[in-house]
């Protein structure tokens, strides 16, 4: 069957079956989705990888091997990859991983270099990365079991800022760094606005002034950007005559690396994830229904207690809420 015929077959009869089943139950009719998107949501791969798997003949729907990714399927479709059914979809989760330098951000490396996936805990479900860090870079790398979420967070449309600490060697020109806020073109590639400032530790104000005048030494810069092209930080700073000897990503949107030890990871709490992605259930602020606090009637007059009276321990007013730290 040709690719066009497969598209019609999968998005025709299967969609009718899905509509009839949901109508009988009186529920909302689920919308059919592209097969690559379904595979990504299952956490097996990214959309791009799913399209490659289809081209390799590894994906079957209703027992028929697909030859094109231009196929839509419903929730009831029987889908297999390499003969194995899709795993039951789990709730979307996100982890913060502290990548070490020297590791490749890929599943397999043709050159046999170590990958981050070889260093992850055995009890971690199948995950994909949100973007990449090159082999020499280190720091925060987001992992998720939802390939579709990974793709969403990678896009500049997410508006999430990536922040890095870069150790550089060369003459740091404060004006040149400030000029990056307007964007810059390097070797024919145009990069969007970048915020780059000299990082100064306590007690090193004098060094900041000398560095701003063009001293040649190792310095630390804080670089923030929204696009995250391949090797963008290294190329842009190299364009300014600075050599990056170390690059650490410290934040991705609202998520911070903090004091997470190198080579370890921590899960993002579900409530925090729902708040940041806007996926909290409707009618429940922050993903949880808040129970109204009973108001304690306030006394109009205050009287001093006698030494013999015991303290009741009751609060006479509402306490201040604790500010929750995001990310």
What is the pLDDT at residue 280? Answer: 65
Out of 134, 146, 173, 274, which one is annotated catalytic? 134
Joined together, the tokens standing for residue 37 give 């998107």
Q: What is the pLDDT of residue 263?
A: 96
Q: Is 122 buried (19+), middle (13-18) or exposed (0-12) by CB count in 10 A?
A: exposed
- At 46 the pLDDT is 76
- Cβ–Cβ < 8 Å for 168, 244: yes
Can you list the domains of the chain with their CATH numbers?
3-85 (3.10.290.10), 90-160+253-288 (3.30.70.580), 161-251 (3.30.70.1560)
For 66-90, how does the pLDDT look when each residue is reduced to its tens digit (9 = 90+)? 999 899 998 888 999 999 988 777 7
Give me the pLDDT at residue 303, please: 42
Active site residue 134: yes
d(CA 138, CA 11): 44
pLDDT value at residue 75: 81
pTM reported for the whole predicted model: 0.65
Residue 216 has pLDDT above 50, yes or no: yes
Confidence of residue 299 (pLDDT cuts 50, 70, 90): very low
Report the pLDDT averaged over residues 4-27: 43
- Label each residue of the chain as H, E or C: CCHHHHHHHHHHHHHHHHHHHHHHHCCCCCCCEEHHHHHHHCCCCCHHHHHHHHHCCCEEECCEECCCCCCEECCCCCEEECCEECCCCCCCCEEEEEECCCCECCCCCCCCCCEHHHCCCCCCCCCEECCCCCCCCEEEEEEECCHHHHHHHHCHHHCCCEEEEEEEEEEEEHHHHHHHHHCEEECCEEECCEEEEECCCCCCHHHHHHHHEEEEEEEEEEEEECCCCCCHHHHHHHHCCCEEEEEEEEEECCEECCCCCCCCEEECCHHHHHHHHCCCCCCCHHHCCCCCCCCCCCCCCCCCCCCCCCCCCCCCCCCCCCCCCCC
Q: Above 70 in pLDDT, residue 291?
A: no
Residue by residue, DSSP assigns 234-249 as HHHHHHTT-EEEEEEE
266 Cβ contact partners less than 8 Å away, ≥ 6 residues apart:
95, 96, 260
Among 245, 235, 237, CA closest to 138? 245
Q: pLDDT-derived band of residue 319, with 50, 70 and 90 as boundaries?
A: very low
Q: pLDDT-derived band of residue 54, with 50, 70 and 90 as boundaries?
A: very high
Task: Report H helices in the chain.
Answer: 3-25, 35-41, 47-55, 147-154, 174-179, 205-212, 232-239, 270-277
Q: Is 28 left (phi over 0), alpha (psi -120 to 50) or beta?
A: beta
Give kind and range of the element (H or E) at residue 34. strand 33-34
Mean pLDDT of the 30-39 span:
84
Mean pLDDT, residues 145-169 taken together: 89
pLDDT in tens, 86-109: 877 778 899 999 999 999 998 888
Asked if residues 208 and 149 have their Cβ atoms less than 8 Å apart, the reply is no
Mean pLDDT of the chain: 78
The pLDDT-based confidence of 252 (bands split at 50, 70, 90) is very high
Between CA 216 and CA 222, with CA 220 as vertex, the angle to 5 degrees is 130
User: What are 109-140's pLDDT values in tens digits?
Assistant: 889 999 999 999 988 988 889 999 999 999 99
């Amino acid at each position: 069957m040709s690719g066009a015929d497969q598209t019609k077959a999968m998005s025709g009869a299967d969609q009718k079956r899905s509509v009839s089943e949901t109508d009988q139950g009186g529920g909302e009719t689920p919308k059919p989705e592209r097969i690559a998107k379904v595979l990504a949501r299952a956490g097996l791969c990214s959309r791009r990888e799913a399209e490659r798997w289809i081209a390799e003949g590894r994906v079957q729907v209703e027992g028929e091997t697909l030859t094109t990714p231009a196929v839509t399927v419903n929730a009831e479709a029987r889908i297999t990859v390499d003969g194995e059914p899709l795993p039951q979809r789990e709730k979307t989760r996100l982890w913060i991983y502290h990548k070490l330098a020297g590791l490749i951000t890929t599943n397999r490396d043709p050159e046999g270099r170590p990958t981050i996936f070889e260093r992850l805990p055995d009890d971690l479900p199948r995950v994909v990365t949100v973007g990449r860090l090159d082999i020499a870079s280190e720091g925060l790398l987001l992992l998720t079991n939802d390939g579709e979420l990974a793709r969403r967070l990678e896009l500049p449309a997410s508006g999430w800022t990536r922040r890095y600490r870069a150790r550089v060697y060369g003459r740091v020109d404060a004006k040149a760094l400030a000029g990056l806020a307007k964007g810059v073109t390097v070797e024919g590639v145009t990069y969007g606005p970048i915020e780059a400032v000299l990082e100064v530790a306590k007690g090193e104000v004098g060094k900041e002034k000398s560095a701003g005048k063009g001293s040649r030494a190792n310095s630390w810069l804080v670089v923030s950007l929204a696009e995250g092209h391949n090797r963008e930080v290294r190329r842009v700073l190299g364009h300014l005559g600075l050599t990056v000897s170390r690059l650490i990503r410290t934040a991705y949107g609202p998520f911070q690396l903090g004091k997470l030890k190198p080579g370890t990871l921590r899960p993002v709490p579900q409530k925090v994830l729902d708040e940041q992605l806007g996926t909290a259930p409707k009618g429940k602020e922050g993903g949880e229904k808040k129970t109204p606090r009973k108001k304690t009637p306030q006394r109009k007059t205050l009287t001093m207690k006698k030494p013999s009276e015991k303290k009741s321990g009751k609060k006479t007013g509402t306490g201040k809420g604790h500010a929750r730290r995001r990310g």
